[in-house]
Structure 1
Amino acid sequence: MIKFVGDVKYDNYNRSENDMPIFRYAEVLLNYAEAKAELGTLSQADIDISIKLLRDRVEMPNLNFQEAKAKPDPYLAKDYTNVSGDNKGIILEIRRERRIELVMESFRWDDILRWKAGQLVTRQFKGMYFPGTGKFDLDGDGKDDIWIYEGTKPTAPGLQILKLGSEILLENGKSGNVIVNPNINKVFDESRDYLYPLPVQELELNPNLEQNPNWK
């Protein structure tokens, strides 16, 4: 991740030269597009003054309103099963756009709660794909960066050396995506977890308050 990463000359202990966004313009544009889509009033003209600005910045093609409506992405449709209607395809695409544009900016959890898609947080975290053991150049500079091995640990100065099956786990055993935190059992209670529990001290201060459902 290089988002909000400045030049190396600004690397100082306990100090940052980065501005902290309070309300980022990209979020304004995405909020506008999503609201119009949910209301059923979104048009290509609305996309052109919102999502297109984000895509132009990185030389990506614009989102085509009619194409997105006509061909809802089946992968996204499996993630968001409660999205339906004539605007299904475009709503799914805007949700994809939020996930990409706002990554690592602390929006994802609130979006998932707002969309009533809590089961997405129970998925297994996965890292990059490796076809098997061996040396890999991850940044394309012609120099190996990582060595995944089995058996006796090799010696290679400057490389990150990881033992398959203990220091790194791959989805298919000897190949596949990296499995992250495999022993964490992630659960989401659909009857409870869309709301936070009210703090005990607030309940004590005001006897008229009732705890949120299933948090008692």
Structure 2
Amino acid sequence: FEGTWRKYHGLGNAETYLRECKRVSAELIEKYPNIADCYDDLFCSLELKDVPGVILYREYSNAVGVVHAVSIGGTTATSFYNPTRDLVDSYLCSDGKPRWTSEVFTHDKDPYEEFSNRDHRLWLHVTPPYTVDRSKSNDAWDNKWEFTDNPKDRSFIDSLSTRIGIGYGTSKERQKTLPFRQGYIGGILGASPHFDFFLNNQPWYKSAFGYNNWKYYCCYLDMGSQRNEETDMPIFRIEEVMLNYAEAMCELGEFDQTVANLTINKLRPRANVAPMIVTNINASFDPKRDKGNSDYSGDYEVNPLLWEIRRERRIELFSEGFRFDDLRRWKKCHYALKKKLGQFVRSSDFPGVSVTIDGGGSEGYLEFHPQQTHLWPDYYYLNPIPRNERVLNPQLEQNPGWESEN
């Protein structure tokens, strides 16, 4: 953090901190050379004690009354933890290329096509699409369902059930399965995506974007115990260190195929993504790469290789609390002001409902929040010092820019 903060905020002496990051990261990687074969094991295991690469974790147990409700954090009726179109577009395809240049990506006008041939972490972060037949059900909360006659509707149900290519273990009782259930006795959700403006008599697990975050969702051993979960939670894992090391080495101009194999290429096999080939990454590898924003004085174009390392960090550590601090240290918080878009939809699929579509028209990407007209002020990169802290210690001065607002 300190090395990149100093580099991109013009404070000097960045290399000292980047080299220290390089040194200690290499030591940790040597001590913890392996990672969990199954990504989902990190977030849906009753015990993380023997999971490879987990350095520090928080233990939970119903037996001693230490429980949590994280599993339903992104899945309740009032949830607003919606991934955006920008995030979903960031997941690579199985050939290791961005969706913009991959030969195995078809289109995003159909959710089944959009999720096909993608990094499997997308499947484990955002609920994959499916549809089941609930015509024999008269209750939003019962578990009566059958497969439809359309093979596509069951494709991701089958993929998660049989664990094909995802690296799942063989006896993990809390891993993700479809169709989605809320944790009640029954409570089958008929289809995903499930939009908050078109509920179809099922009021929970809805999304404004069409995308839902289910990274921490687990299948419950005891239906109805969703607020007494005891899955352990990782706090510090070697994958974070590997990404720190990769980024520091790139910032120092020392990133090569050996470093890629020691870091990023250890993460990708369990996500069904082809390895990073450093010599293949050039200016045209991702045409959507950040080329700099002229609205911000001194904003910079992100080097193609650094862009891919940052992408891997965004995906691997999704929803673990890193993103905002990453944008702060890279001086790229203006990303947060982008237009917030969701899935591709057709208004004809939602009779009687007014749907906001980007650019207007009858089909396109859902628009949840328009492009912001204001800029991100530089002083926002530092937090304001609370008034009560300055009363306790009169020698504290307010951070620059916040004086008139606090």
Bin of the TM-score, shorter chain as denominator length: 0.7 to 0.9
- Conserved in 2, the CA contact under 8 Å of 1:121 and 1:186? no
Report the secondary structure of 1:197's partner residue: coil
Question: 1:134-213 residue pairs with structure 2 within 5 A?
Answer: 134=349, 148-149=350-351, 153=352, 163=353, 165=354, 168-173=355-360, 174-181=362-369, 189-213=376-400
State the one-letter code of the partner of 1:43: D
For 1:209 and 1:114, locate their aligned partners in 2 and report how far apart those are by CA, in whole Å. 23
CA change 1:6–1:122 in 2 (3 A) is same
Q: 2:300 aligns with which of 65, 82, 85?
A: 82
Q: 2:322 aligns with which of 107, 111, 130?
A: 107
Report the equivalent of 1:120: 335
- Conserved in 2, the CA contact under 8 Å of 1:79 and 1:120? no
CA change 1:35–1:208 in 2 (3 A) is same
CA change 1:36–1:127 in 2 (3 A) is same
- Conserved in 2, the CA contact under 8 Å of 1:170 and 1:177? yes
Deviation at 1:92, TM superposition (A): 0.7
State the one-letter code of the partner of 1:65: V
Deviation at 1:79, TM superposition (A): 5.9
- Conserved in 1, the CA contact under 8 Å of 2:292 and 2:301? no
For 2:364 and 2:228, locate their aligned partners in 1 and report how far apart those are by CA, in whole Å. 39
Deviation at 1:121, TM superposition (A): 0.6
Report the equivalent of 2:254: 41
Report the secondary structure of 1:120's partner residue: helix
Report the secondary structure of 1:121's partner residue: helix
Which runs of 5 or more structure 1 residues have no equivalent in the other structure?
135-147, 154-162
Give the number of aligned pairs: 184
For 1:53 and 1:43, locate their aligned partners in 2 and report how far apart those are by CA, in whole Å. 15
Q: 1:7 aligns with which of 193, 206, 219?
A: 219
- Conserved in 2, the CA contact under 8 Å of 1:79 and 1:117? no
Report the equivalent of 1:50: 263
Identity over aligned pairs, percent: 35
Report the equivalent of 1:26: 239
Report the secondary structure of 1:133's partner residue: helix
Q: 2:281 aligns with which of 68, 77, 86?
A: 68
State the one-letter code of the partner of 2:241: V
* Structure 1 stretch displaced more, 199-208 or 120-129: 199-208
CA change 1:10–1:187 in 2 (3 A) is farther
Report the equivalent of 2:401: 214
**Deviation string for 1:23-66 (max 9, x for gaps)?**
13321211111111111111110100110011111221111112
For 1:204 and 1:194, locate their aligned partners in 2 and report how far apart those are by CA, in whole Å. 23
Q: Which has the higher contact order (CA 8 A, sep 6+)?
A: 2
Report the secondary structure of 2:288's partner residue: helix
Q: 2:312 aligns with which of 79, 87, 97?
A: 97
For 1:109 and 1:186, locate their aligned partners in 2 and report how far apart those are by CA, in whole Å. 20
Which runs of 5 or more structure 2 residues have no equivalent in the other structure?
1-125, 127-213, 294-298
**Deviation string for 1:79-111 (max 9, x for gaps)?**
675246xxx211011111112222222211111
Deviation at 1:185, TM superposition (A): 5.8
CA change 1:21–1:188 in 2 (3 A) is farther
